[in-house]
Amino acid sequence: MSTSPFLDNSNMKKVILFAVAALTIVSMSSCKKNNTLTAAEQAEGWELLFNGVDLTGWRDFNGDSLTNGWTVVDGCIQASGEGADASGYIVTDRKFSNFELQWDWKLTHGGNSGMLYHVLENPTFAVPYVTGPEYQLIDNEGWEEVNAPEKLEEWQKLGVDYAMHLPDYSQMDVNPQGEWNTSKIVFDNGHVEHWLNGKKILEFEAWTDEWFELKASGKWANAPEYGLAHKGVICLQDHGDPASFRNIKIKELPRKGEGNTVSLFNGKDLTGWEPFGDGKWYVENGCLATENGDNLEYGYLGTREYYKDFDLTVEFNQISDGNSGLFFHSFIEGFNHVHGWQCEVAPKGNDTGGIYESYGRGWLVQIPDEKENILKEHEWNTLRLRVEGDHVQTWLNGEPMIDINDEKIGAVSGRIMLQIHDGNNIKVIWRNMNLTVL
């Protein structure tokens, strides 16, 4: 009876060794090294936000360097656990608008952390979460064990859009505490998704009427600038617990809506606007009327949306006094402190169409004296304001008023606001407020 050569011990060993080597090669080829991108990922537009070696591209929130204990250990960004609610945040140098953001994370027992986006930096904002939405990272069960008898609210648990939207718990597939998990945020021109370990757990639309109602009804009712920015830095949180992050990558998505023209005022009510400070705001004969409040202090009526590059045309009539203004790239602090830039609207001789910076440098440019007569007092005027990057231009009744470039203006976005100056007997009415997105 013949014997197959494959049953020979020597040949069998060769076959086994060959098979093991082949499996090893396949395994090595299919196992991607951490903090790297494949050629396919690069072709799709993915970029690394962490190089696996150091914290290049990251810094303190509201700072220009790293000072708060974040380190790189074994190819991972590690939060030391020395942070707290008021400190311990690091942010990207770059700002992002629309994107897919994916990362791996691991927490200690009871750990609490988070990934935030569209965060605005300004000394006025002491912490990033008053402007930037957060994908909550927390060890739910461990946190409640450590902090017993205190319990987490549903809006504080893993995967939530913090204090806003809850996930679909039936899709939550969390690895045991101490093991790596993978999360993803998709922000696509207001459409938002949260993913966990390959499953979509949450989906909503930002900046809808329902979104604003939800914002106003909970934790962010007294955080007027929360969630409004269309672009900002990405932020990692050290909330007093060690946490590890790796494979942080982002793919930017195209911006939509360029060329769209929107009407900021519908001629019927104040939908889309929010009042701040002391003023009276109402609709009168199809016009938006603004006048002094009872306390005769500053008042502002601001869009609830942020705008960056735009071409805005509006008509105004200074019924009495007329000391007002059209703010842009602005935000509110406290009761009625506005930060941003103002296209002046004021009585004749006071630079209507000039640009003024509040809480900063003051006048950036005033109009030439010979152009003061372009303003028609107590009649309808047409004001045009165009902002594109650093470039700002204004026209009054079809005549060019100013043309400047300013890096500070180009670096930010913000609300459009109508001002009522402090004083008495001021009333200005507005109509035909049409804005084209650039």
pLDDT for 133-184, tens place per residue?
999 999 999 999 999 999 999 999 999 999 999 999 999 999 999 999 999 9
Residue 339 has pLDDT above 80, yes or no: yes
Q: How confident is the model at residue 87 (pLDDT cuts 50, 70, 90)?
A: very high
**CA dist., res. 323 & res. 346, Å (int):** 4
Cα separation, 135 vs 102, in Å, equals 11
Tell me the pTM: 0.90
**CATH number for the domain that contains residue 356:** 2.60.120.560
Residue 15 located in a structural domain: no
Cβ atoms of residues 87 and 68 within 8 Å: yes
Checking if the pLDDT of 22 tops 90, the result is no
Mean per-residue pLDDT, 287-311? 96
Residues counted in the chain: 438
| Average pLDDT estimate for 348-363 | 96
Task: Give how many domains the chain has, as a whole number.
Answer: 2
Same domain, residue pair 108 and 141: yes
362 and 403 belong to one structural domain: yes
Percentage of the chain beyond pLDDT 90 is 90
Examine the pLDDT at 129 and tell me if it is beyond 50.
Answer: yes
pLDDT value of residue 379: 97
Return the structure tokens found at 392: 């700002």
Number of neighbours of residue 218 by Cβ within 10 angstroms = 11
Which residues, other chains included, contact 8 with Cβ-Cβ below 8 Å and sequence gap of 6+?
none
Is the residue at 66 inside a domain?
A: yes
Residue 13 is predicted with a pLDDT of 45
pLDDT at 97 over 60: yes
Same domain, 71 and 147: yes
Is 312 found in the same domain as 166? no
- Do residues 57 and 135 share a domain? yes
**Claim to verify: residue 131 and residue 268 sit in the same structural domain:** no
Please report whether residue 373 resides in a domain. Answer: yes
Domain assignment present for residue 31? The answer is: no
Contact 94, 121 (CB under 8 A): no
Which residue, of 206, 225, 252, is where some domain finishes? 252
Asked if the model's pLDDT at residue 6 lies above 70, the reply is: no
Whether residue 14 has pLDDT greater than 80: no
Last residue of a domain, one of 252, 277, 296: 252
| Nearest residue to 416 via CA among 286, 272, 237 | 272
List CB contacts of 138: < 8 A, sequence separation 6 or more: 107, 111, 112, 113, 114, 152, 156, 157, 158
Residue with more model confidence, 17 or 438: 438
Q: Is residue 165 part of a domain?
A: yes
**Residue among 94, 86, 93 nearest 127 (CA):** 86
In b/e form, how buried is each residue of 106-136, taking b as 16+ CB within 10 angstroms?
A: bbbebbbbbbbbbbbbeebbebbbbbbbbbb
308: left (phi over 0), alpha (psi -120 to 50) or beta: alpha
Summarize pLDDT for 251-261 with one digit per residue, the tens. 999 999 999 99
Distance CA 372, CA 180 (A): 66
Using an 8 Å Cβ cutoff, are 225 and 120 in contact?
Answer: yes
Q: Are 332 and 222 in contact, with CB atoms under 8 Å apart? A: no
User: What residue type is assigned to position 164 of the chain?
Assistant: M
Residue 202 pLDDT class (50, 70, 90 cuts): very high
State the average pLDDT over residues 264-277. Answer: 97
Q: Quick one: 241 and 294 in the same domain?
A: no
Residue 271 lies in a domain: yes
Residues 297 and 390 placed together within one structural domain of the fold: yes
Whether residue 21 lies inside any domain: the answer is: no
Examine the domain organization and report whether 215 and 299 are in the same domain. no
Residue range 312-320: mean pLDDT, rounded: 97
Tokens in use for 27? 């395994």
Nearest to 137 by CA among 116, 119, 168: 116
Query: Rounded to 5 degrees, what angle do the CA atoms 277, 417, 286 make?
Result: 100
Query: If you average pLDDT over every residue of the chain, what do you get?
Result: 93
Domain extent at residue 298: 261-437
Q: Which pLDDT score, from 0 to 100, does residue 335 have?
A: 84
Q: What is the pLDDT of residue 289?
A: 97
Same domain for 395 and 294: yes
Whole-number Å distance between alpha carbons of 90 and 213: 30
Which of 230, 252, 274 is the C-terminal boundary of a domain?
252
| pLDDT band at residue 23 under the 50/70/90 scheme | very low
Query: With the CA atoms of 392, 398, 401 and 402 taken in that order, what torsion angle do they form, in degrees rounded to the nearest 10?
Result: 20
The residue-averaged pLDDT of 291-312 equals: 96
Q: What is the 3-state secondary structure (H, E, C) of the chain?
A: CCCCHHHCHHHHHHHHHHHHHHHHHHHHHHCCCCCCCCHHHHHHCEEECCCCCCCCCEEECCCCCCCCCCEEECCEEEECCCCECCECEEEEEEEECCEEEEEEEEECCCCEEEEEEEECCCCCCCCHHHCCCEEEEECHHHHHHHCCCCCCCHHHCCCCECCCECCCHHHCCCCCCCCCEEEEEEEECCEEEEEECCEEEEEEECCCHHHHHHHHHCHHHHCCCCCCCCCEEEEEEECCCCEEEEEEEEEECCCCCCCCEEECCCCCCCCCEEEEECEEEEEECCEEEEEECCCCCCEEEEECCCECCEEEEEEEEEEECCCEEEEEEEEEECCCEEEEEEEEECCCCCCCCCEEEECCCEEEECCCHHHHHHCCCCCEEEEEEEEECCEEEEEECCEEEEEEECHHHHCCCEEEEEEECCCCCCEEEEEEEEEEEC
Please give the Cα distance from 304 to 255 (Å, whole number): 20
Residues 107 and 137 in one domain: yes
Q: Are residues 367 and 276 in the same domain?
A: yes
> Kind of pairing, strands 71-73 and 76-79?
antiparallel
Q: What is the dihedral of CA 237, 136, 246, 107, to 10 degrees?
A: 90
- pLDDT value of position 12: 46
19: in domain: no
